[in-house]
Chain A
Amino acid sequence: MKKIVVENLKYRYPGTSELALDDISFEIEEGEFISIIGRNNAGKSTLCQALVGLVPHFFKGAYGGQVKIDGIEVGNSELHEIVAKVGYVFQDPYTQITGSKLSVEEEVAFGLENRGVPREEMIDRIYHTLKLLGIFEHKDKNPYELSGGQMQRLAIASIIALNPEVIVLDEPTSQLDPQGSEEVFQAIQNLSQQGMTVVLVEHKMEKIAQYSDRVLLIDKGKLIDFDTPAKIFSREDLLNYGVHPPVYTQICQQLGKHKDGVYPVTFDEAYELLVKSYV
């Protein structure tokens, strides 16, 4: 089933002359794990904001084309209707803390209270997501006392607790150490396997290759390619778009080792191919 349908999406920020999004069209199936890659300023965050309706409801400006989530057209709906379906995790965890709650558990409760979720269910969901993201032991702390990484997990937990059908994450692991990012990626993959549709902006290509079903490459507001990680990272012109493929892919490219023109993108694939050829 098609979960997200984007048709000829164009958008220009107020007071600018260049299009931030230029005629973008793609479709995402329910339960897919999609990553968006591209250089800084390519339009990744703007595209994410268009999926959750902040473009055009929060950022005004010239808007054209259509974004449909589950058949609901984002441009013509109220923001609160869209955010009931789509969760959005911002880049900066600090500004996502409401500032009105005194403990981590109350902070996660904020969105649930707004939605009118009954108290018993609320407590179940809060404890479940806090455990899922490994910050349950901090539940009574003031949110501002958390470290950057813990705050980032809290920001993700606050959205996951809302049980959205689609979750959009804009660099959710920028402040996490390798171990922490791995845990967050696994938590997201779990949700994706339970049927949640995931759209992720990331710069960690190894992780993207490992977890994504498909990768969306954009540059200067235009959609360049939308395909499997293997196909995208095997493109010879990838560097022109400011993207370095995963190191495993780079090694195999140097050695000229590929399988039917497609280079391996994960550790396991590369290992298997190299062992086959050299041992």
Chain B
Amino acid sequence: MQSMSLYVEKDTFVHRIDPISKIFYIIASIAISFILQTFTITIICLVINLILLLTGRVFKNVLPLIGYSSLVLVTIVIIQGLFNPGNKTALFELGPLTFYTEGLKFAALICLRVINILCAFSVLILTTRPSNLIEELIRKGVSPKIGYVLSSVLQIIPQMVSTMGKITDAQRARGMETEGNLFKRIKAFIPLIGPVVMSSLIQTRERAMALEVRGFSSPSKRTFFNQRHTHRYGIYIQALLILVTIAAVVWRIIE
């Protein structure tokens, strides 16, 4: 069954940590790299992230994510290198363009931070089963309705894709050309939109009724079929992360 998620099923130390501690970790890691604006701290945060990703054996799954963001990062480097208002010392020239040290330094810091944010989120997303994450969030007080939306999207979009496949097959069976050059494919795509959207809307209405019948809007306190996804040291991890973040704030103020 195709489910839309980046989760990588493995049994490692990082996978076993509870989702809430990982959320604390994301906040701490990002906050610290922004509060203490030095290269050393940002690099330390990044290295910790990379160590976690390596121990979670999901490091190679992060690379495509960083790859996608590289376009934005390259743009930042070019623009800051050329036009940063603090630019004074020219570093090198590329034809008529001059790149400056100050701008490139600033751009490097931003790039490191962006990669740090990506990696921190990856620690959560790649090593946590989406349903566990959502269930823990509901336990912590997120509305079950929002939880339902989050978790159903992961399954219902692949379902819509398969509905689309069925409708394409039906149209092809009646002699419509769906293969060939790009123009033909675009022409074949347009008559698909109507039936796919309509059938999804009808299904959504029926599903809404089916949910109501199963007490979705019941005011009683919810219980859970799955047991809690807690970790023995979860509470200590969370406390430690809060302390480190506070320490970062204090350091920044003293400085």
Contact = CB atoms under 8 A, between A and B. Distances in A.
Contacts of A162: 214-215
Contact of B218 (A80, A100, A118): A80
A87 B213 CA distance: 7
B179 interface: no
A116 B144 CA distance: 13
B3 A112 contact: no
Given A159-B213, A162-B214, A162-B215, A96 B225 contact: no
Interface stretch (B13-21, B104-112, B150-158): B150-158
Interface string A196-238: 0000000000000000000000000000000000000000000
B57 to A, nearest CB: 22
B1 interface: yes
Interface in A38-80: 52, 54, 58, 79-80
Q: Among A100, A110, A144, which residue has the most Cβ atoms of chain B within 10 A?
A: A100
Interface residues of A, number: 41
Contacts of B206: 90, 92, 95-96
A261 interface: no
B84 interface: no
Interface SS of A by simple majority: helix
B207 interface: yes
Q: Among B147, B148, B215, B227, which residue has the most Cβ atoms of chain A within 10 A?
A: B215
Interface string A247-265: 0000000000000000000
- Place the interface of chain B in its size category: 20 to 34
A129 to B, nearest CB: 13
Contacts of B221: 116
Q: Which 10 A-B pairs have the closest CB atoms?
A: A111-B214, A109-B225, A114-B215, A95-B206, A116-B220, A100-B151, A142-B1, A99-B152, A96-B210, A100-B152
A239 interface: no
A95 B210 contact: yes
12 contacts: A88-B213, A94-B203, A96-B206, A98-B210, A99-B159, A109-B225, A113-B224, A114-B216, A158-B214, A159-B213, A159-B214, A162-B215
Nearest to A88: B213
Nearest to B224: A113
Q: Among A54, A87, A88, A116, which residue has the most Cβ atoms of chain B within 10 A?
A: A116
Nearest to B204: A95
Nearest to B131: A102
Interface string B185-226: 000000000000000000100111111111111111111111
